[in-house]
């Protein structure tokens, strides 16, 4: 009760962020991490509030995003940026780091949260933020249900800033879609359908 009143009347500056994506319509709910197609047919899946959305009585500016161009297989990637409270009030603020995998042997999510940190900033104050990633942070569960990491091109997104880097493994960087060592994802889907139909006939 009183906490909500303090927020509504500006006595407390909120800093929370949504842990889910809130759809605009209930039929937009999906059970699959979709990937945008290359063709542009229009945006039919607008959301009301995206994961990580939050409100504040002040504003924040991101700048000076620095991402090394390559990450060697056994090294760490140091990502730095500056965050400034450009408003007139003190506030806490959570910085979210997203990674997008452009080339993967299975369809990747559009983006994944890979790091976050919370700052307390006075009006006009600026702080440096650092994130550290390695190849294990870029791993995923493959089609054979084992955790794996594939070299390739990745995009870093922090606020309105973006940069990319290449994970190098084996003989060098991979800038095109790697060949999958397993059956195509759609082939397995069709096999599952055939097995289901066969079971119905027995």
State how far the Cα of 91 lies from the Cα of 59, in Å rounded to an integer.
9
State how far the Cα of 193 lies from the Cα of 187, in Å rounded to an integer.
10
What does DSSP assign to residue 12?
S
State how far the Cα of 202 lies from the Cα of 74, in Å rounded to an integer.
52
**Residue 130, SS3?**
strand
Q: Radius of gyration (Cα) for the chain, nearest Å?
A: 21
Q: Which domains are present in the chain?
A: 59-201 (2.60.40.10)
Instruction: Supply the pLDDT for residue 177.
Output: 38
Instruction: Supply the pLDDT for residue 187.
Output: 61
Q: What is the mean pLDDT of each run of 10 residues along the chain (202 residues)?
A: 88 88 73 56 70 92 98 96 96 97 89 96 97 95 90 96 91 42 55 70 65
Instruction: Supply the pLDDT for residue 61.
Output: 98
Spatial neighbors of 87 by CB under 8 A, at least 6 apart, are 56, 57, 58, 59, 60, 123
Spatial neighbors of 73 by CB under 8 A, at least 6 apart, are 135, 151, 167, 168, 169
State how far the Cα of 139 lies from the Cα of 141, in Å rounded to an integer.
7
Q: Give residue for tokens 């909500």.
A: 4
State how far the Cα of 176 lies from the Cα of 89, in Å rounded to an integer.
47
What does DSSP assign to residue 4?
H
Instruction: Supply the pLDDT for residue 44.
Output: 55
Q: Which residues pair with residue 163 across a beta bridge? A: 156
- The 10 Å CB-count burial string (b at 16+, else e) for 88-114 is eeebebebbbbbbbeebbeebbeeeeb
Instruction: Supply the pLDDT for residue 172.
Output: 43
């Amino acid at each position: 009760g009183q906490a909500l009143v303090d927020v509504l009347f500006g006595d407390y500056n909120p800093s929370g962020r949504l842990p889910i994506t809130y759809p605009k319509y209930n039929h937009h709910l999906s059970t699959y991490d979709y990937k945008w197609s290359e063709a542009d047919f229009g945006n039919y899946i607008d959301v009301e509030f995206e994961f990580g959305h939050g409100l504040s009585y002040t504003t924040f500016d991101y700048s000076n995003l620095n991402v090394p161009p390559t990450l060697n297989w056994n090294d760490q990637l140091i990502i730095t940026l500056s965050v400034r409270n450009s408003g007139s009030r003190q506030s806490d603020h959570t910085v979210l780091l997203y990674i997008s995998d452009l080339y993967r042997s299975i369809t990747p999510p559009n983006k994944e949260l890979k790091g976050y940190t919370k700052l307390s900033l006075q009006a006009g104050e600026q702080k440096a933020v650092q994130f550290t990633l390695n190849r294990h942070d870029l791993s995923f569960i493959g089609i054979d249900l084992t955790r794996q990491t594939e070299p390739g091109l990745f995009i870093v997104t922090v606020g309105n800033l973006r940069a990319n880097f290449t994970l190098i493994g084996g003989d060098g960087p991979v800038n095109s879609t790697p060949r999958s060592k397993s059956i195509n994802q759609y082939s397995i889907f069709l096999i599952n359908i055939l097995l289901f139909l066969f079971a119905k006939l027995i």
